[in-house]
Structure 1
């Protein structure tokens, strides 16, 4: 499995990164939107089975190929699942041409200094050692910024880069994700502080320590242009953060140096009850919309 081909695709490929990394906390909500009520599964095991069926249906859809979807972020549990008798990450890259990433964070700490840091990630080295041979190119790790608090934002970014260095040490590329809450009253100000912290930490990386960034669509268009142009940055992707597909795509259109990495917006309007034809048509329409905004 060629890491170089994957790298080439992540650097230059036209399209977006699909976020299929719903975890324990976000799965019930994602399933509810997909038309699967909590009463329809009796255990966590059954819940994860339902979401895996949804993910497999997306991955197998006609339009889920490298033509428009250049990468996809998976939940750790998904690595052990199979599609057509092959492990999901391997199937995705070899059959669909989509580069696999792995969500590695274990959720968020309580809010301090206007931010939520990542919880500790036990066994990270083992997780990375297992993921790399499966053809996983990189990781994704998320924290959240709620207020323009300089001390809090500096702490979030420092923690992100510390985890990022561990990922780089395992021969993989981290997607660093310090999300800014779209409902924050000091969103624009928080983004200015975030930009300065990102540039400071990027400058401290050595040759070959290349990262990707996943950022909230900024209040000021093209705010992150300088970040995207940094020699240590392979790509900057945008999260939808609760915006609808149309809103997220309209905002993304204003930022010519970002591509999408949407989850809710990707699955918007899909339901388990749909026929395969209807499902493929609805997903195809979402993929097309997000692709056009990304390119």
Structure 2
């Protein structure tokens, strides 16, 4: 299978595009789709599951669970619901963004909270046939969104659990800066823990809204061909999601964004 055949369109790339239209575009082109909980809940869980099944579209992930650095009963219950939703729509992975530092906490207590939450959630996910995919985020997000910043840290968190229960996300946007990333990818491959592979580019200067500053593929500094080669060398042949949070893209028509993103993906992986 060529890299072009592994393209999956994460719905967040065209955030305000109707979910049905996005799925239909993926069906016409043979692309997979990464779904988000909010549009799924808006359409309805059963209706979304029927939509993707009838369209013959592979759901490559559901975003997102997590935000459990303070693992309250409510946070655990919400994540169990997210696992159920992933299973219902046929998503093999639930992407986890761990959360930042809770009020009154420290980064150390927050990281302990992640371990505690995984202890509670991993058996449930395994029983549902869903892999929890820990996504390390760039360290600039450590205080408010994700205290897990490196692939090595994500792998250490996953280590106590079966790979079918807990894996990791290899996201170029968040990992490109890490000088140990290639060793981390090789380790993830050896341990069978690559649950999701995502592309987005890092552009300079960063936009004012850093969270929504992911660049279109090829517009920034990331070496996608090397990422593809390193991940392929592990034996991973799964889908590659393009997930772009970008205000400019969000202001444009979804079909136009989809075609541009698919063409950019084909260019950087050729």
Output the TM-score relative to the length of structure 1. 0.58
Quote the Cα distance in structure 1 between the aligned partners of 2:20 and 2:62. 16
After superposition, residues 91-170 of structure 1 pair within 5 angstroms as 91-99=51-59, 101-105=61-65, 108=67, 120-129=75-84, 131-143=86-98, 151=108, 154-155=111-112, 158=115, 161-162=118-119, 163-170=121-128
CA RMSD of aligned residues (A): 4.3
Q: Any unmatched runs of 5+ in structure 1?
A: 1-8, 23-29, 31-50, 110-115, 185-189
Quote the Cα distance in structure 1 between the aligned partners of 2:221 and 2:56. 27
The reply to whether residue 197 of structure 1 matches residue 153 of structure 2 is yes
Length, aligned pairs only: 230
SS in 1 for 2:98: strand
SS in 1 for 2:6: coil
Task: Please report how far the alpha carbon of residue 126 of structure 1 lies from its aligned counterpart in structure 2 after TM superposition.
Answer: 4.7
Contact 1:139–1:167 (CA<8 Å) still a contact in 2?
no
Contact 2:13–2:249 (CA<8 Å) still a contact in 1?
no
1:286 aligned to 257, 261, 269, which one? 261
Q: For residues 186-238 of structure 1, what are the alpha-carbon distances to aligned partners after superposition, in whole Å with 9 as ceiling and x for unaligned?
A: xxxx85xx333333334322364453425413214643322431333144423
Quote the Cα distance in structure 2 between the aligned partners of 1:281 and 1:88. 23
Equivalent in the alignment of 1:33? none
Quote the Cα distance in structure 1 between the aligned partners of 2:168 and 2:28. 19
Output the TM-score relative to the length of structure 2. 0.62
Equivalent in the alignment of 1:14? 6
Quote the Cα distance in structure 2 between the aligned partners of 1:128 and 1:183. 24
* Distance change in 2, residues 1:105/1:205 (3 Å): closer
Contact 2:62–2:95 (CA<8 Å) still a contact in 1?
yes
Q: Any unmatched runs of 5+ in structure 2?
A: 143-147, 201-210, 232-239
Contact 1:217–1:251 (CA<8 Å) still a contact in 2?
no
Equivalent in the alignment of 1:75? 37
